[in-house]
Amino acid sequence: MTTPIDLTKLPDYLRNQRWFAGKAWPIKSVSTVDHATVPLPGGRDFTLAVVEVIYELGHPDRYLLPVLPSSEGIQDALDDVDALRALFQVIREKQTISSASGRFVGEWLDTPEGLMALPSPVPVRRLQVEQSNTSVVVAEKVIFKVIRKLEAGINPEYEVGRFLATKTSFRATPTLLGALQSEGPAGATLAVVHRYIPNVTDGWRYTLDSFRRSARLSDAFLGELRVLGQRLGELHHALASSTDEPGFVPEPIHAEDLQRWSASMVGELGVTLNDAMRHFPELEGRREGLIERAKQLAQVPPSGQKIRIHGDLHLGQVLRTEGDWLIFDFEGEPGRSFALRREKYSALRDVAGMLRSFDYAEATVQLEGEAAGERVAPARKAFLEGYRSATQGAPFLPQDDASFDAMLDAFELEKMLYEVRYELQNRPDWVRIPVQALMRMEVRK
């Protein structure tokens, strides 16, 4: 099968796409590693291609390119309504399409949520807000996300979503309905389909609105944060419920795990502080105290279990809808490999991520000009109360409060270090937020 894509035009085409992450590096070459033809009404068709981009320096990347024939060069097939419908039908009808080096396989889950009736032809509309993927709303009931930058192996968003939808009763999430997989040498998850939830606010905006209203959070909002904590506890119960799926069966936390996590944090501390001290020399005086804090994790008596977790939890990964919370986006930290994202860990890592998000919300409203207030401590307390109430006696958590607090403390430190590195690289004006948190953390030791 010869590819109908003009490879000579691909470098320029890719550089002009919002979802292309390699704009900063000179492209050495682009090649097609797999492709298939998808038929359209009226005798037309489009090409679904996986291309590999090799740079002058660094590792190659793979991208999914749905492309329509065009006399003007390369045209994105996802701009075409018929192509959007055809791609969705491949998934909904569980079609298999032979490709140059394998096959593309549509999967639709046989769950109650998947039995919904849809009109024909289905109305489709592309969302324009995303940077790194392409999402399409189908009949206002379904949303499917076409993954542009591909990684080999099982996508955690698909794997976790499928587990929750088929093996648990947890439904405080936009339920996974289906997926499109590439099988063969270019094996990867190409698209995921979820239930579409209209009229939602993301948790970050919702929390900022509450933080802006007053220096003190209302009892009603604190009650909502308790429910958010409960939903996270219920998610962890669900993720820890498997007895027969190796990727999800809980495993005991051993002393070796705590030592490994602690050593990793000490290493991250050295690298992160060296980078940050160019801008914040005052951190040097905190180095030893923070290292000691990271080392304390290795001294915690081992108890609890390693389970699959969300892995990148913050207020932007939850939705507020009709008086409840939904947790979504189980893809994990974008900068980590799929293998690392799929590792089992302490559930408290997710808890730490959400607690750090409250600190960010407070810093954000203060940057906007709001007066400092009593918001962060009550928000943390309410969220933790909800989480503890939902997970009392859970085998995946440390057995005593001292171990719970020490481990949570360590994972908050780990999250702050991640935040410092992220902000230095992406938003230097924001790096002061996690740096100030690091300064406070050592002081309250």
Q: Is the pLDDT of residue 1 over 60?
A: no
Residue ranges covered by each domain of the chain: 26-81, 85-195, 201-443
Short-list 179, 182, 2, 32, CA closest to 97: 182
pLDDT digits (tens, 9 = 90+) for 87-131: 999 999 999 999 999 999 999 999 999 999 999 999 999 998 767
Per-residue pLDDT, averaged over 5-13, amounts to: 87
The stretch 252-267 carries a mean pLDDT of 98
Q: What share of the chain is helix, strand, coil (3-state, %, to 5)?
A: 45, 20, 35
Q: How high does pLDDT run on average in the chain?
A: 94
The CATH architecture assigned to 201-443 reads Alpha-Beta Complex (3.90)
Residue type, 182: S
| Three-class SS state of 77 | helix
Residue 445 pLDDT > 70: no
Q: pLDDT tier at 443 (50, 70, 90 boundaries)?
A: very low
SS3 155: coil
pLDDT in tens, 204-250: 999 999 999 999 999 999 999 999 999 999 999 999 999 999 999 99
pLDDT, tens digit, 9 for 90 and up, residues 284-327 = 999 999 999 999 999 999 999 999 999 999 999 999 998 899 99
CATH number for the domain whose boundaries are 85-195? 3.30.200
Q: What is the mean pLDDT of residues 61-68?
A: 96
Same fold, 85-195 and 201-443: no
Say what the pLDDT of residue 428 is: 93
pTM tops 0.75, yes or no: yes
CA 415 to chain centroid: 15
Tally of helices (H runs) and strands (E runs) in the chain = 12, 17
The residue written with tokens 């889950």 in the block is 109
pLDDT computed for residue 80 by the predictor:
95
Banded pLDDT at 177 (limits 50, 70, 90): very high
pLDDT digit string, tens, across residues 384-408: 999 999 999 999 999 999 999 999 9
Packing angle of the helix pair 255-276, 287-295 (nearest 10 deg): 160
Instruction: Give the strand order in the sheet containing 133-138.
Output: 96-98, 103-108, 176-183, 188-195, 142-147, 133-138, 124-126
The 3 state secondary structure assigned to 158-216 is: HHHHHHHHHHCCCCCCCCEEEEEEEECCCCEEEEEEEECCCCCEEHHHHHHHHHHHCCE
Q: Reply yes or no on whether the pLDDT at 4 is more than 70.
A: no
How does pLDDT run across 315-359, given as a tens digit for each residue?
A: 999 999 988 999 999 999 877 889 999 999 999 999 999 999 999
pLDDT at position 444: 38
